[in-house]
Amino acid sequence: MKAVQRLADQISEVVQGDLLALILHGSLATGDFLPGRSDIDLLVVVGTDLASDRAGALERLVRGADLGDAAGIDLHVVTASAVAAPQRTPPLELHIGRYPSGVEVTDAVDADADLLVELAMARDGGRALHGPPPQEVIGEIPAQWVRDRGRHWLTTWQVLTEDDEHAAHMVLTACRIWRFAAEERHCGKVDAATWATARDPSLVAITAALHRYTTGERDRIEPSAIGQVLDTVLREAERQIRCDRDRIR
C-alpha cells in the first residue's frame, strides 16, 4: 500500500536520527485488511523521550496524511527502553488516532495498560518498515498479562451490551481475546470471528458483528446475544487464567 510507505518515510523525516524502529502491525500485517474499514497501525520506537516539537509535527502529519484505502491511522510512539523489557503498564510517549469520528491525541502517559496488548501484537505479527524485526526490539510479553487485560475488557463490556455503536467492536474483539486465551495466537477480527463461530455456532452475535464490520450495514445486534458472547469468552478466558496460575504454583 503506497500510502503506508509514504507515511513511513514522512515519519522518518520528522523523527530523524532518533528513529530506531517503525513497525507496521494490525490488519495490513496480518493480511485481513478491508479497504474503507481497516486502519493503518504503526508503532514508532525512538531512542529518547519525544520532544514537543516532534510530537506536534507527527500530529500534523497524521491529520493531513493520505489514507489511501484505509479508514484511519493508529500511531503509537514508545521509547526503546520501555519496550525492550515491557511492564504490565508500559509508558507511552504519544498516541495519535485518526478515525472517521475525528482525531484523538494522547501525550506522555506514565502507565498505559492497553499499550501492553498493542506491543504484544506488534511483536508477534508486525512487519518492520524501518530498523530491525519486531522481536529484536520488543521484549517477550507474558501471555498471562495479555489474558488478564482481555478479561478486564470483557467484564467492562458486560454492562455495555446496549451500546449499539460499539457492538461489532466488542463482539469481534471478544473473539480475538478468546482465540488468544485458547491458543496464544493474535489474529485479525475476521479470522477470530471465523474461528469462534466454528467453536460455537450458537453465538449468533458473531455472525451479525462480522457482517456489520465487513459491509458497514447497521443491522441491529441484540444485546442479549452480545452478552452471550461476552459470557462465553469470559468463562473460557478465566479457565485459562486459572490454568496459568496453577502452572506457576
What does the H/E/C string look like for 60-111?
A: HHHHHCCCCCCCEEEEEEEEHHHHHCCCCCCCEEEEEEEECCEEEEEEEECC
Host H or E run for residue 54: helix 52-64
Task: Report pLDDT for 245.
Answer: 62
Rg (CA), the chain: 18
Crossing angle of helices 143-157/167-183, nearest 10°? 150
Cell reading at 176: 480475538
Residue spans of the domains in the chain: they are 2-137, 143-248
Cβ atoms of residues 129 and 146 within 8 Å: no
* pTM reported for the whole predicted model: 0.91
Query: Can you name the residues that pair with 188 across neighbouring β-strands?
Result: none
DSSP state letters, 135-158:
HHHSPP--HHHHHHHHHHHHHHHT
Q: Report DSSP state, residue 164.
A: G
Q: So what's the pLDDT on residue 49? A: 86
pLDDT tens, residue order, the chain (249 aa) = 788 999 999 999 999 889 999 999 998 988 889 898 899 999 999 998 888 899 999 999 999 999 999 999 999 999 999 999 999 999 999 999 999 889 999 999 999 999 999 999 999 999 999 999 999 999 999 999 999 999 999 999 999 999 999 999 999 999 999 999 999 999 999 999 999 999 999 999 999 999 999 998 988 999 999 999 999 999 988 887 677 665 655
Give the pLDDT score at 77.
97
Topology classification of domain 2-137: GMP Synthetase; Chain A, domain 3 (3.30.300)
